[in-house]
Amino acid sequence: MEKENEWIMCHTEDVAEAEEHTCQQQRRRRPQCMVTEVEASQLKEDTKHSENDGWESDCENQADDKRRNKEKDDESVSSSSSDVPSLDTCTPTKSVESPSSPSPFYSHTTSSCPLYPPLPPPVELDVVLVDSRLTLDIYRGGTAMLETLWENFPGKVKEVQYLRIGSEESGSLETVLDILPHLKLLRSLAIRGHCLQDSLGHPLPGILSSLPPSLSSLTLLTHLDLSFNRFTSLPPCLLSLPCLSILILSHNHLSSLPSNWGCLSSLTYLSVMGNQLCSLPASLAQLGALLTLDVSHNFLESLPEEIGELRCLKKMELSHNRLRELPETLKTLVNLRELMANSNSLRCVPEFLTKLPHLKKLDVRNNPTGRCSTPPPALPDPAQAKAGPSELHLGPSQHRFSVTPAGHHVFLPRGVELLFPEGCVGHSTELEWAETRPDRKWVCLEEHDHLLSWPLELLPHGVIFQKPVQVCMPYRQKARREIVVRRFDGSSWSKLQTWKRRGSPSNCVRPGGRRARLACCTVNHFSWFVVVSCPVRDTCLVSPEGALLVSSVNPAIKLRFLPSSTSQTRTVTLQVLQVEVSVVRELSSDSTASASPLLCLSQSPSLPYLQPVTVQVPLPPGLTGHTVDMSCLYLLHRQPDCQTWTDVTAQTPLHVTQLYVVFSVSHFSWYWLWYTTQRCVSGVVRRVYQRLRQFRVQFLVLQRKNDPEQVLLQCLPYNKVENTVQYLSGLYDGPQPSDLCELLEGEQFFAGFEKGIDISTERPDCINGRLSFIFYSHLKNHKEVYICSSQKQQGPVKGQVSFYRGEMPSDVPQEVAQKRKGPDSQWLATLPLRLPVAGGISEPRIPPLQLGDPENGYLTEANLLAISLQISQDWRNIGINLGFSYEELDRIQYKHRDNLGALVLDILFHWARRRGDTGPGAVPELIDAMTKSGRQDLADEIEDIVSLGKRKYRDSLRRVGLDTEGLLAE
Residue positions annotated with a catalytic role: 525, 527, 667, 669
* Cβ partners under 8 Å of residue 49, min gap 6: none
Distance CA 409, CA 397 (A): 18
Residue pair 346/327 in contact (Cβ under 8 Å)? The answer is no
Q: Distance of alpha carbon 652 from its chain centroid, rounded?
A: 56
Distance CA 248, CA 294 (A): 9
Distance CA 835, CA 708 (A): 7
Here the contacts of 222-225 (C-beta below 8 Å, separation 24 or greater) are 222/4, 222/8, 222/87, 222/91, 222/187, 222/188, 222/246, 223/87, 223/88, 223/187, 223/188, 223/189, 223/190, 224/188, 224/189, 224/190, 224/248, 225/189, 225/190, 225/191, 225/192
Residue pair 619/689 in contact (Cβ under 8 Å)? The answer is no
Angle between helices 12-20 and 2-10 (to 10 degrees): 50
Distance CA 211, CA 195 (A): 19
* Cβ partners under 8 Å of residue 556, min gap 6: 616, 617, 618, 659, 660
Instruction: Please report which helix (H) or strand (E) contains residue 534, including its range.
Output: strand 528-535
Distance CA 821, CA 140 (A): 69
DSSP label at residue 516? P
Helix ranges (DSSP H) in 571-703:
581-588, 681-693
Q: Taking CA 774 as the corner, what is the angle to CA 768 and CA 777, rounded to the nearest 5 degrees? A: 155
Beta-strand ranges (E) seen in 726-878 are 732-733, 741-744, 748-754, 757-758, 766-767, 770-774, 781-786, 788-789, 797-805, 827-835, 850-853, 857-860
In one letter, which amino acid is 692?
L
Query: Hey, is 955 helix, strand or coil?
Result: helix
Instruction: Please report which helix (H) or strand (E) contains residue 915, including its range.
Output: helix 900-915
Tell me the CB-side half-sphere exposure of residue 631, using CA atoms within 13 A: 3
